[in-house]
């Protein structure tokens, strides 16, 4: 089941379409300030980021202080049950909130969330407190759980990554970060004195794990594509040959969507004198870990290679109304973490205690509806639309880059923070990106590009501002600034 799957001929039906806004919709009813000030003084630390190769400094624009727009919790009045005023007020707040969510969903481009889903059939389960506390494979005394769904989902991913049922262990996490925390924890338990190696463009949760577990962490340089620099990796391995290596391999980096070459990472480990019993590899596949198996030319992420764990997010490519993820590791490794808990009548080897029992049902529902072929069609659609968007950016004179195995299009950072906030773009230094997910249509990309071109005509009309140089971020060949055109 891993790798290429024959495509279906029929198109997937698009579910969960966004309803149109009413004519009297007030976008400011819940969102007060459309754009935060560049630096706030309400307890938020001022931060700076370098741009233009360190010649200038840009202050990082942090989000609004939510205390300025929070919804107060108040005590009910004595006659509320009679008048119904409180219920009417709360219904009004929720209706306005739904309209605000609808509006924000229409202008979502910068974060890797698939917003195209419809779980109406599962609404009947919202009245139950479903909790999968403890080990997914051992039932606890708490009977309101969804372990049967959870293990079914885990079996599906184990097949995807070529690991037999009796050889794997895993669980449904609360998010991709928890998957990274668990994978690196397993590596640390296998090699208590191991050194954590991760590229500089790894997700921040990888370095958070290093701090939490008090691990020595070595940051490895990257190529301009965002991929790990394996020559620098080998050099740093040679400097620490006396200690085991715990390696984070990115199956899609956060900002550029770069995929580390797993085979080359393993080769460099071997060349540096690390036998397979001296290293542990965790694969962070938050987004692309579920996309790559359906790209014909993509290298395989498989447990037939000497890796220790793989994690993906469930709310990203799959699409889910709550954050969740999947973590799979080898059964032989997790025993170092496991502890029997009499209170649960189960075993504990997870990061969290109580675990969302609804999430496995949502994942099970989508995996059954779409299957391998359905996911392949969505992957092909995302990659096709990403190439369309990148090509049109370049045609419009905007520097842009798209990695071969990615649907993350990197381009010049817009000069207007309000525009960035409107389209919910993720930015770093001189670059921004759009992550093309199944819910991102050609029409939405065209709308964004047309507005971006109109804004650029305003930003650059008097010559005071120029497009950012992004050569140091994405390579000179992808930069279209005045110097590199």
Just list the catalytic residues: 406
Beta strands in 79-214 (DSSP E): 168-173, 195-199
CA distance to 147, 291, 316, per residue, from 313 (Å): 19, 11, 6
Determine contact, residues 473/400, Cβ cutoff 8 Å: no
- Helices 358-395 and 147-160 cross at an angle (nearest 10°) of 40
Q: Where are the alpha helices (DSSP H) in 120-247?
A: 147-160, 176-190, 204-212, 230-238
Which backbone phi and psi does 187 adopt, to 5 degrees? -60, -40
Which residue from 255, 386, 366 is spatially nearest to 319, judged by alpha carbons? 366
Torsion on CA atoms 119, 440, 161, 208, rounded to nearest 10: -90
C-alpha 325/C-alpha 461 separation (Å) is 46
Beta-bridge partner residues of 230: none
Determine contact, residues 97/30, Cβ cutoff 8 Å: yes
SS3 content of the chain, % helix, strand, coil (to 5): 40, 15, 45
On the CB side of 304, CA atoms within 13 Å amount to: 9
How many residues appear in the chain?
485
C-alpha 261/C-alpha 371 separation (Å) is 27
Determine contact, residues 342/161, Cβ cutoff 8 Å: no
C-alpha 450/C-alpha 454 separation (Å) is 6
C-alpha 1/C-alpha 124 separation (Å) is 33
């Amino acid at each position: 089941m891993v790798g290429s799957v024959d495509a279906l001929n029929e198109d997937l039906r698009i579910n969960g379409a966004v309803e149109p806004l009413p004519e009297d919709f007030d976008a400011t009813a819940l969102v007060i300030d459309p754009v935060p000030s560049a630096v706030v003084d309400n307890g938020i630390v001022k931060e700076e980021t370098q741009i233009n190769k360190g010649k200038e400094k840009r202050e990082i624009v942090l989000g609004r202080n939510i205390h300025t727009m929070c919804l107060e919790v108040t005590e009910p009045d004595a006659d509320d049950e009679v008048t119904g005023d409180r219920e009417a007020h709360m219904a009004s707040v929720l209706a306005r909130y739904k309209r605000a969510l609808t509006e924000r969903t229409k202008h979502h481009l910068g974060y890797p969330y698939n917003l195209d889903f419809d779980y109406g059939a599962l609404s009947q389960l919202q009245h139950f407190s479903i909790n999968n506390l403890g080990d997914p494979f051992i039932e606890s005394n708490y009977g309101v759980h969804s372990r049967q769904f959870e293990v079914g989902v885990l079996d599906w991913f184990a097949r995807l990554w070529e690991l037999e049922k009796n050889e794997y262990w895993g669980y449904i996490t609360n998010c991709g970060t928890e998957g990274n925390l668990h994978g690196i924890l397993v590596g640390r338990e296998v090699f208590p004195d191991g050194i954590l190696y991760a590229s500089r463009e790894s997700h921040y949760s990888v370095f958070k794990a290093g701090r939490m577990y008090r691990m020595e962490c070595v940051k490895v340089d990257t190529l301009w594509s965002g991929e790990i620099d394996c020559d620098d990796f080998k050099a740093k391995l040679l400097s620490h040959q006396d200690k085991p290596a715990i390696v984070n391999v990115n199956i899609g980096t956060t900002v550029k969507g770069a995929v580390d070459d797993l085979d080359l990472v393993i080769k460099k480990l071997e060349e540096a004198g690390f036998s397979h019993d001296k290293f542990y590899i965790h694969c962070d596949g938050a987004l692309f870990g579920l996309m790559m198996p359906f790209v014909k030319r993509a290298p395989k992420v498989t447990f037939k290679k000497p890796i220790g764990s793989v994690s993906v997010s469930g709310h990203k490519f799959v699409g889910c109304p709550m954050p969740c993820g999947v973590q799979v590791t080898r059964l032989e490794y997790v025993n170092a973490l496991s502890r029997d808990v009499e209170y649960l009548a189960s075993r504990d080897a997870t990061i969290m205690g109580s675990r969302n029992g609804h999430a496995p049902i949502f994942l099970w529902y989508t995996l059954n509806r779409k299957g391998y072929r359905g996911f392949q069609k969505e992957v092909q659609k995302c990659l096709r639309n990403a190439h369309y968007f990148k090509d049109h950016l370049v045609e419009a004179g905007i520097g842009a880059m798209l990695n071969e195995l990615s649907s993350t299009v990197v381009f010049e950072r817009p000069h207007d923070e309000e525009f960035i906030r409107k389209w919910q773009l993720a930015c770093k230094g001189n670059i921004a990106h759009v992550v093309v997910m199944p819910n991102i249509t050609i029409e939405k990309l065209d709308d964004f590009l047309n507005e971006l071109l109109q804004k650029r005509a305003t930003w650059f009309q008097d010559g005071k501002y120029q497009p950012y140089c992004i050569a140091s971020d994405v390579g000179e060949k992808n930069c279209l600034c005045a110097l590199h055109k």
